[in-house]
Amino acid sequence: MAASSPAKIFEYFVVCGIGPEIATLEGNKGFQGMEVMYMPSLLDQYPPSNQSLYPPPPPQLPTCVLPAGVEFYTSGFNSDDVATYPRSYPIVLTEGDGSKIYVACIAFRDLVCDDIIEAYKIPANSFADKCICLVSRSPSFQVLKDALEELFILCFSPAGCSKPLWDVIADMVSNVPLPTPGKDRVLFAIENCLLCAETPPKEGLPHADGLEDSDEQDHVEDVEISLNAITDTRSPQTMRIHGKMQ
């Protein structure tokens, strides 16, 4: 019998935002104008659920990572407007059996794709909320946060990267093993940035590392969400990222 593949620290890279079937939080279909909140959808993920060793991301994930919904805007990032800055924050999802899913998120404004603009008669060059996430069963928020921010910065780097971004994501998600709790450290690189992953010992396992940091607490008021209380829909679409990170 072939040996099973070793566990990985990253289960999924996920993109959430406005999907091809637009509806407001109240259920009104179609584009209803700016300053209206719309339902978020799962747009893309790696690996695809049918190629993963893990259960698929919970269908409620888009609502959890963008709980206020998705808003359309006439402009994107503006260095003079703090409200337009990308936001980095962690969340913890609790499943029905009590197991926890740890998610690092970066939310930002992204150009709306031309197909959606044309289909719903949305003003040209509009932006909308989007969120990229790293999903893990390991309570190691610091490495999740660091890795996600490196991917985000790499995406907008004027110098670009040595290979397509999705190849960088696939290599990281597929190849970084889960360290032995309380023992090993795993080093891995995202382009020229070296990162270190470790997991705390199982005895007295903390709720999640990194949540005590004051800079993350500024972004998160209630980071634990029960999946039993939330429902959502999913719509596939190709990931597109534009913008600039402060």
For the chain, domain boundaries: 12-229
One digit per residue, the tens of pLDDT, for the chain of length 246 reads 444 567 889 999 999 999 999 999 999 999 999 999 999 999 999 998 788 778 888 899 999 999 999 999 999 999 999 999 999 999 999 988 888 999 999 999 999 999 999 999 999 999 999 999 999 988 888 999 999 999 999 888 777 777 888 999 999 999 998 888 777 788 888 988 888 888 767 665 544 555 444 343 333 333 444 443 333 333 323 333 333 333
Please report how many Cα atoms fall inside a 13 Å half-sphere around the Cα of residue 142, on the Cβ side: 10
pLDDT of residue 157: 78
Determine the Cα–Cα distance for residues 138 and 215; give it in Å rounded to an integer: 21
Predicted TM-score (pTM) of this structure: 0.80
pLDDT of residue 36: 97
Contacts of 103 (CB under 8 A, 6+ apart): 61, 64, 65, 90, 91, 92, 93, 133, 134, 135, 136, 144
pLDDT of residue 95: 85
Which helix (H) or strand (E) segment holds residue 193: the answer is strand 193-197
pLDDT of residue 131: 97
pLDDT of residue 202: 66
Whether 81 and 244 have beta carbons less than 8 Å apart is answered as no
